[in-house]
Amino acid sequence: MSDTARILTGIPASPGIVVGRARVVSDFGDLQAAFRLLYTDQERQAEVRRFQEAVEQAQADLTRLRDRVAAEFPEHTHLLELHLLILKDQMLYDEPLRLIREENLNAEWALHRAYERVRELFSRIEDPYIRGRIQDVESVYRRLMGILIGQSPRRLIPPGEEVILVARDLSPAETTQMAGSGVVGFITERGGRTSHTAILAQSFEIPAVVGVDNAIREIAPGEEIILDGLSGRVILHPDVEVLERYRRRQEEFAAFREEVTTTAAEPATTPDGFATRVMANIELPEEVHLVGRYGADGVGLYRTEFLFLRLRHLPTEEELFEDYRKVVAALAPRLVTIRTLDIGGDKFLHRTDYVPEMNPALGLRAIRFCLKEKDIFRRQLRAILRASAFGRVRVMFPLISSVREVREARALIEEVKAELRREGLPFDEEMPVGAMIEVPAAVTLCQMLAPEVDFFSIGTNDLIQYALAIDRGNKQVAAMYQPLHPAVLRMVLQVVTAAGVSGVPVAMCGEMAGDPLHLPILLGLGVSELSMNPLAIPVIKRVIRSITLAEAQTMASRVLEMVSVEEINAYASRFLKERFPEIYRFGSALAGI
């Protein structure tokens, strides 16, 4: 790296590399609109025209955006349709015109006053979902105000000119507008890799880095910068040499991605005939199309927490059912594995009903919480069972640590099934039920757990954390979080062996499953179903199709003899680097998201 270059680090949210000019979006509060009174008819007429022209421009911009988005992502156009309607609404169109004509306000002032009235009106709405639509009104207001004061979004995102958007935060609506615009990447100060905005960026294949501290202050508007969505880095003031290097890397990554994606849908079988299933982890119904796009054989982990968190109230059975049915029906006949609620009460119970915990990771969460709050659990189980009538569903319980928990949960499923039968509601009588293996106790007990379930799914994120006693969020020990730790590998082997005796299939659904570095060893240990971030699937399938099971088994038995994780890591890296040099360079970045 040259002397002049400066690097900002954030969280890689959507993979890819892009070079472009920064377009720094200042906060809403920075829009400096001048308010003034009008004195003559001539002035009033001019302001009326100016306001109408601004609305026309906004309408043209939004229509063009909508048409572009409609061509590629028809499911994302409804927000833009809504904005078009708000633009001509009586309260935001007729009212400002009246204020200009009758109250002698200039266009900015009239618009501001009209918007404030809408905001005031909406603040009194009790229903949180309906009240939340003020965000869309605000978005339209900002667009119009921007045009009026000469900072139009059209200039903000000029068509044709490629810009990297830099903002404090971006709403899902704003992210949606980027599809088909000149935005080739974005950087935000807020957000995590699983935020809604990051997920949309992945689905639009726009590289993004989020969680970059002080991005707005550090990045100068108009400056040429490099955004590396693979490593989460933003490079400022790059010299010619650095630019050249990243441009090459950008081309290579694009070619790599293109190549692996074209063959993604084909089955993942090793050359010596070992058939595996490569599945997707998803969280939102919007992610369903990624399953097909990246060639997943089904969903190995459907996280169900989002609806509970989004609604801020306890979702009804119908609300849960609707979400599950949508996903299950869209993916049928592919298998969808639904994980029951994996959070504690702190996330959505009222403060008075919830006792704060010193150590939530070891506290009342997941299956423990569900077995205590049986009404919530029962509601979710009913919704899952009802959704099972629309495709192929299996269900799994997180954080199982005893046989008793499995039996209790299964008994509840039987009760719920009996209810549904009485009510005449259809469901899959044979819906498989599984246990997640993510607590060391479950590993030790897996021989006894196996006869109680239809499948196991090893949740590596939690298992590694509990087995090695490492909190990944703690920077002082995060480096000790090591998926290839000898203890972890032995645990995986133990689960696979015990399950094999009972004929219970074993899946793996943590981040470890999606990393090409780990894959040969996992295959060699006997893991035949892997579930991961959809983006990682093409890479993983390609590795599976290129190595034989015999080779993977040799590797696995070799690493089982090694005593240190450093030795194992070096061995796995060497193998990947020699056999799959391009995957060695890019593949892990896809997996880590």
Partner 1 sequence: MQEKSHLVEREVWVENRLGIHARPATQILNLARQFEAEILLEKEGLVANARELLAVLALDCPQGTRLVVRAQGADARDAAHAMVQLFARKFGET
- Point out which residues pair with 278 in neighbouring strands: 530
Among residues 337, 327, 336, 413, which one has the least CA distance to residue 370? 413
Stretch that binds partner 1, among 37-45, 56-64, 75-83, 461-469 (CB under 8 A): 75-83
HEC letters along 520-573: HHHHHHCCCEEEECHHHHHHHHHHHHHCCHHHHHHHHHHHHCCCCHHHHHHHHH
Per CB under 8 A, the list member of 82, 156, 330, 562 interacting with partner 1 is 82
Shortest distance (Å) from residue 382 CB to partner 1:
15
Shortest distance (Å) from residue 183 CB to partner 1:
25
The smaller minimum CB distance to partner 1, of residues 160 and 424, is found at 424
For 458, phi then psi, to 5°, come to -80, 115
Q: Within 302-321, which residues bind partner 1 (CB under 8 A)?
A: 316, 318-319
Q: Does 322 bind partner 1 (CB under 8 A)?
A: yes
Q: Are the C-beta atoms of 184 and 18 separated by less than 8 Å?
A: yes
Q: Does 284 bind partner 1 (CB under 8 A)?
A: no
The smaller minimum CB distance to partner 1, of residues 141 and 253, is found at 141
The smaller minimum CB distance to partner 1, of residues 329 and 448, is found at 329
Shortest distance (Å) from residue 177 CB to partner 1:
16
Contacts with partner 1, 136-175, as mask; x by CB under 8 A: xx--------------------------------------
Q: Does 105 bind partner 1 (CB under 8 A)?
A: no
Residues 6+ apart with CB under 8 A from 356: 346
Contacts with partner 1, 111-140, as mask; x by CB under 8 A: -------x--xx-xxxx-xxx-x--xx---
Q: Does 425 bind partner 1 (CB under 8 A)?
A: no
Please give the size of the binding site for partner 1, defined by CB under 8 A.
Answer: 26
Shortest distance (Å) from residue 124 CB to partner 1:
8
Shortest distance (Å) from residue 49 CB to partner 1:
24
- Report the alpha-carbon angle 156-290-213, nearest 5: 45
Q: Does 347 bind partner 1 (CB under 8 A)?
A: no
- Point out which residues pair with 384 in neighbouring strands: none
DSSP of 460-477: HHHHHHHHHT--TT-TTT
**What distance in Å separates the CA atoms of residue 311 and residue 307, rounded to the nearest whole number?**
6
Shortest distance (Å) from residue 14 CB to partner 1:
27
The smaller minimum CB distance to partner 1, of residues 135 and 194, is found at 135
Residue 196 is among the residues annotated as catalytic for this protein: yes
Please, what's the b/e burial string for 549-569 (b: 16 or more CB within 10 A of its CB; e: otherwise)?
A: bebbbebbeebeebeebeebb
Q: Are the C-beta atoms of 33 and 115 separated by less than 8 Å?
A: no
Catalytic residue among 76, 112, 485, 509: 509
- Point out which residues pair with 433 in neighbouring strands: 395
**What distance in Å separates the CA atoms of residue 337 and residue 281, rounded to the nearest whole number?**
9
The smaller minimum CB distance to partner 1, of residues 90 and 476, is found at 90
Residue 509 is among the residues annotated as catalytic for this protein: yes
Q: Are the C-beta atoms of 336 and 298 separated by less than 8 Å?
A: yes
Catalytic residue among 196, 446, 485, 518: 196
Shortest distance (Å) from residue 455 CB to partner 1:
31
Q: Does 389 bind partner 1 (CB under 8 A)?
A: no
Q: Are the C-beta atoms of 463 and 512 separated by less than 8 Å?
A: no
Please, what's the b/e burial string for 114-143 (b: 16 or more CB within 10 A of its CB; e: otherwise)?
A: bbeebeeebeeeeeeeeeeebebbbbbbbb
Binding site for partner 1 (CB under 8 A): 78, 81-82, 85-86, 89-92, 118, 121-122, 124-127, 129-131, 133, 136-137, 316, 318-319, 322
- What amino acid positions are annotated as catalytic residues? 196, 509
